[in-house]
Structure 1
Amino acid sequence: MERPTHAGAHAPGALAGLRVIDLSRVLAGPLCTQMLSDHGADIIKIEPPSGDETRSLGPPFDKHGDAAYFTAVNRGKRAMAMNLADPAGRDTLFRLIEDADVLIENFVPGTMARWGLDYEASLKPRFPRLIYCAVTGFGADGPLGGLPGYDAVLQAMCGLMSVNGDEACGPTRIGVPIVDHLTAYVALTGILMALNERHVSGHGQRVEATLFDTAMSLLVPHAANWMYSGAVPGLLGSAHPNIAPYDKFACADGLVFLGILNDRQFMKFCRFVGMEQLAEDARFATNAARLQHRTALSGEIEAALSGWSRDALCAQLMRIGVPIGPVNTVPEAFAQAHAAHRGACVEMGAYRGIGLPAVLSRTPGSAKREPPRFGEHASQILGEAGFSELDVRQLMEQGVLHQSAPP
């Protein structure tokens, strides 16, 4: 749909012309809408008067005083801050939704209904084409329905920590907020499926993405192993429950991860490092045998690799088709020549962020603008919706609209 008067309407990309009202905060919702923005959608971020919590989750902070965490998931958006609990705030939101395709929120279930913004009762009858995405911890019903959800708590509850770590450290949180991150992709997928279906039916629908469902979906292959064997998955460190050798090993100057998937790769590896006898050893002839004798195999590999330079080993083995890579730090990961080639880091002025993981050949995405400052675009957004300067001033005076960052 064409919106020539909107500041974000003509951004290039596969989603150009799509308008999204983003009421979400923290990570899963904002990351979802950042990905939509990267591919051309016009994102209107509406924060509460207190602001998105991630603005304060630092140091480090950017030149505007916003935490780097906030900048990681909010580029490309226009922002305003409004009190949706105020009836005037709700009515203003109605005006904005009139020209929107998608609304995404991650409030505790029941919050939107309390404000008169329930999807079934209020929004669906008024905006039948609207795609409404709710990101929650557990959903609205069931034994845990309505409770707030947090990434690390869901990692613990859903068994992820029980298979991450080793006997020395015990169950360990995965080092990135993997549940929040994947929930963003679940929400993105649901929104795009609903938009595709709308082309056929002409109707919107409610999309639900929960941290609980997402965390449970991450239990591959551990859940399947338990379902078919009855054996409770345990801690394996960096090793794999179904494949060997698939683990980290020490070279002379650092760690590598060796990910051998089949017998052919194992034979290539053994020949290259001078361990032909291992490939002929019945204990290591098949993956099932290697799993049974994992400890003995790991000892042999550690001894064979101890004199190698990790970079030389990785370069040579990868060239012959043996999967292996150095265990890099974050700076080392971005310093890789291939990271530069793939655009892993994007820069706009003082902003630096991670690049786009989805690459489209005909309608490529791109980072559009720096993350917004608190309340930065309120006048512009409301002006596009038909509000006069007097209207905007009155909303500010009534305490509905906020343009000063909270202390």
Structure 2
Amino acid sequence: MLYLTALNPTDSVLDGLLPAADTLGVPVTVLTDRPDDWPTAVPTRGCPVRDPQAVIDVVRDGPAAVGLFSNSDHLQAATALAARRLGLPGKDPESARRCKDKAATRQAVADAGLDVVHAQRLTPGQPPTFDVFPAVVKPRDGVASEDAYLVTDADELARRVTEIRGRRPDAALVVEEYLPGEVRTHDTLGDAGTLAVLGGWRTTLGPPPTFTELCLEWAPATPATAERLRAQLDALGVRFGPCHTEFVVHRERPRLIEVNDRLIGDRMDLILAELLDVPLFEYVIRLHLGESVADLGLPDPTTINQTARVEYVCAERGGTLVAAPGPIDAVRDGVRLGCRPLRSIGTAAEHTGTNRDYLAVLHAIGSDPAVVRRALVEFRAGLDWVIDT
């Protein structure tokens, strides 16, 4: 049995990992603290998945485990610790903790002499005393740009801290200097001794003070940049399984924004698999079953003859989504196009200024960047989303 720890259902699991396990002929049980949220067709067991010992107990109580892992930001360290105690392949628990804790990430890279980012940890109730602006304030263990803000002075910082604590009174925060430069991603897949590069994307963000990703274009790191990123990931102990790193390029130097010890999200992992033309989710499972990166035959991302562009459709206000295009696949001028909903019709949501505002993701894959971009523009022009306030 392959055990997968999770919180809420995600496309990565439902459309990626579960079908991949079925293709490999490996039965799966999802361990989750929210079993009622999952489709009835998915085998689940209720479990307090943030507790490593609870995960161990449930696994030992079930069919013999061949693997245990998670694709959740929140569960990497606990799941890695449980896998280690069960003698199963997995991530290093301390590395997973460092990646999740943004302050610990900064400290590890600084201790290795690779980069110093001025940063301050804020325990719940601690007033900020930061003096390097512009700055970014965010939850120490946050995800999806939630409650991450650009601030320009001490007064604005104090207001944002008060605002965040109104929603997260028990959360530790981090304040750090703003890192200027072009935002990029760097995606890797590793085993215990090897770290292979899957590729990377150039990211366009929405207007400040929030950091919503609006568009990503295929742009693998150059060998020199990849080498410098590798040194920083080595300092964090990143190796096993998938990892999604966000960084900026400033004065030809890569500087980490954050390291997410999982596959790239928001359906980008599914798009990446299509772009590379590889069974990416099967590869992730095979690593957790004990295979090596060398067994997978990954392509060199800098040599593939395809490119891609991805755009997110964001809600511009809160309200109920009352009309939206369903899943669409099309081909135009030799470009493969896709539209996938990220919010169901009938769902009401507040406007957050984060990735939680996504209504759908559109993508285009082809051989010529200009043709890909034009095809996506024309594709998007024919689609409408309606929100009733």
Could you state the TM-score of these two structures normalised by the residue count of structure 2?
Answer: 0.28
Q: Which has the higher contact order (CA 8 A, sep 6+)?
A: 1
| Richer in helix (by share) | 1
Could you state the TM-score of these two structures normalised by the residue count of structure 1?
Answer: 0.28
| Richer in strand (by share) | 2
